[in-house]
Copies of this chain bind each other. A is one copy, B any other.
Amino acid sequence: MPDKLFDSSDNVRHANPLRHVQSVVLDGVLKLELGGELSGVTVAYETYGQLNAAQDNAVLVCHAISGDSHVARHNDEDDPGWWDIVVGPGKPVDTNRFFVICPNLLGGCRGTTGPGSTNPATGKPYGRSFPTVTIGDMVEVQRRLLEHLGIRRLLAIIGGSVGGHQALTWATRHPDWVRGVIPIATSPRLTSQSLAFDVVGRNAILRDPHFHGGQYYDKPHGPDVGLAIARMIGHITYLSREAMTEKFDANRLQPHDVAVQFEKKFSVGSYLGYQGAKFVERFDANSYLTLSLAMDLFDLGSTPEQLAAAFRNARCRWLVISFSGDWLFPPDQSHDIVRALLANQAAVSYSNIQSDCGHDAFLLPDNLAAYGEMIRAFLDNLSAVPSASVAPDEPQNPTSIFHQRRLDYDRITELIPPGASVLDLGCGSGRLLARLKEKNHRRLMGVELDEKKILASLRHNLDVVQANLNQGLRAFAGQQFDCIVLSQTLQAVFDVEAVINEMLRVGRTGIVSFPNFAYHKLRRMLAEHGRAPRSAGVLHYEWYDTPNIRFLTIADFDDFCRCKNIHVHRRIALDTEAGVEISQDPNLNADLAIFVISREVQGTPSPG
């Protein structure tokens, strides 16, 4: 069996991990959030790249529970870092351009003060007398470290898992410090299920007879079994069921012969035993208790209102990333963060990356082309450096009935009042929004389902939130935008009424364009030839494979609006082949319609 069974980005360890670690003893006393204080706190950290003269290229990377300051290798001879795929020269977090700082966490055991450090008051290790620390305390230590380094503002903070908790805390507590935040695979607080796994892990440590109330440092060994058990549980939760099936199912009864005293009947057992035993060699059980409790106590609230309040002070730009296969920090929780940010009018992009890799996805190369490039584009936008290569416009929208020119975009652009805030549903790679940007609109945002198009939008320096229109606009509160655009998408959604309702909930005015199936050429297809009207005939879709599943005419949509008490402000009918507006019998002569609608008759903003 290949040795890669035992490789996990989270676990690549280094022969001499401390080679590039710097450390500093902070001045003064650290008052802790939950009471108590620490003095003489040491912070271990590593840096990469150079702080520029303007001091505006600093990026803070926050590690997860078992990580440390060694985020990446410093040179070819160096030991691997835990995030080499993301941080380094030419990588998404490009150390040729950015000054990257990665400190070890307060309470940890890799150089920063933690329970294994000597308590100056007793001359002995703190052990269980180490106070309960919070994510806020960890962030305060990081802030003091940055001040020590002469940094007063960060370009960005990036963190996954509990690293994401730190990033969220930075953004909400120190809004002046940070221009952009990338929380990855994280949450406003743990689910009760995830909390439960942590509780079991801590119980395994606390009830290990070798725990000795936490003062095991002078004993032959500590609560090694308990810590290994906690780590085994952790490993299961970091992977997905699919990933474990792929890794272990084929050789289920052929375990590795690893030199550990755990059950080795199954291949997955030898893996867990190995991971558990290895963790004990490099991690301190008291630190594990301290860090996991800090993570479990992190809580920005659970209701939409609490979360909106929690993010009220944040002023940075956001890129929120989750992974579809992550069940420890499930995507819904990232979605909650996005909703709270949107409620505060924040500039936020969000993508839920399709992945089978579980929580570990953010440490693995499998989905790097998506999330890594999103990170790169976001940092580019923050640093106002034009991207090396802006992607060309996307290929023709597959549901379009048009060849090249988007006559509808011309008209929609004219219809939107100057300065209006705009949400474009199904924004693609952001062509319409990019046009509006030139008109200096105050708030522009897109909604898109496709990961690649989201990345393209990010490369256009746009904010775009991933959502499936058929599931509504749950991330958005009511009346958040002046105009909401649904351009040639209505005919491809299943629940038309729900989508229109969502539009008119989130936007004061809706602009809807759709192909008119009563266009004379389409009528003829059915009436004379007895064939289904080909909604996208020029693209050669057939009745059985077209993405268009709703067939409406201008007259039908008029009826719909009347019936649903939707006010129609404008109707524009186009013959896009001729490139002209149609005034005479539009339901017969137009192949495309644009409606400006709202829930009620209203004065402002006056559309068109």
When distances are taken between beta carbons in the complex, the residues of chain B under 8 Å from A551 are: 532-533, 543, 551
When distances are taken between beta carbons in the complex, the residues of chain B under 8 Å from A247 are: 192
Q: How far is the CB of A372 from chain B (nearest CB, A)?
A: 27
Asked if A494 meets B549 with Cβ closer than 8 Å, knowing A245-B193, A266-B296, A560-B542, the reply is yes
Q: CB-nearest residue of chain B relative to A189?
A: B252
Asked if A229 meets B200 with Cβ closer than 8 Å, knowing A545-B496, A552-B543, the reply is yes
Kindly state whether residue A497 has any CB partner on chain B within 8 Å. Answer: yes
Q: How far is the CB of A281 from chain B (nearest CB, A)?
A: 17
Partner of A262, one of B203, B272, B523, B552: B203
Kindly state whether residue A587 has any CB partner on chain B within 8 Å. Answer: yes
Interface code A546-570, partner B: CB below 8 Å = 1, 0 otherwise? 0001111111100010000000000
**What's the number of copies of this chain in the assembled complex?**
2
* A230–B262 CA distance with the chains assembled, in angstroms: 15
Kindly state whether residue A536 has any CB partner on chain B within 8 Å. Answer: no
Kindly state whether residue A403 has any CB partner on chain B within 8 Å. Answer: no
Partner of A241, one of B228, B330, B523, B554: B330
Binds B, one of A85-93, A204-212, A455-463: A204-212
* A75–B195 CA distance with the chains assembled, in angstroms: 41
Asked if A518 meets B531 with Cβ closer than 8 Å, knowing A229-B200, A263-B199, the reply is yes
Kindly state whether residue A273 has any CB partner on chain B within 8 Å. Answer: yes
Partner of A191, one of B245, B273, B302, B532: B245
The answer to whether B268 touches A199, judged by C-beta atoms less than 8 angstroms apart, is yes
Kindly state whether residue A323 has any CB partner on chain B within 8 Å. Answer: no
Tell me the residues in window 188-224 of chain A with beta carbons closer than 8 Å to chain B beta carbons: 191-193, 195-197, 199-200, 202-204, 206-207, 209
Tell me the residues in window 255-274 of chain A with beta carbons closer than 8 Å to chain B beta carbons: 261-263, 265-266, 268-269, 272-273
When distances are taken between beta carbons in the complex, the residues of chain B under 8 Å from A343 are: none
* A191–B252 CA distance with the chains assembled, in angstroms: 10
Q: How far is the CB of A500 from chain B (nearest CB, A)?
A: 8
The answer to whether A517 touches B532, judged by C-beta atoms less than 8 angstroms apart, is yes
Q: How far is the CB of A228 from chain B (nearest CB, A)?
A: 8
The answer to whether A202 touches B545, judged by C-beta atoms less than 8 angstroms apart, is no
- Mark A residues whose CB is within 8 Å of B: 191-193, 195-197, 199-200, 202-204, 206-207, 209, 225, 228-229, 232-233, 236, 239, 241, 244-245, 247-249, 252, 261-263, 265-266, 268-269, 272-273, 276, 293, 296, 299, 302, 327, 330, 494-497, 517-518, 522-524, 526-527, 529-533, 542-545, 549-556, 560, 587-588
- 6 pairs across A/B with beta carbons < 8 Å? A196-B232, A196-B244, A197-B236, A204-B204, A206-B262, A523-B526
Beyond A543-B551, A543-B556, 9 additional contacts (C-beta under 8 Å) are: A191-B241, A192-B249, A193-B241, A196-B248, A204-B229, A229-B229, A266-B296, A517-B526, A524-B527
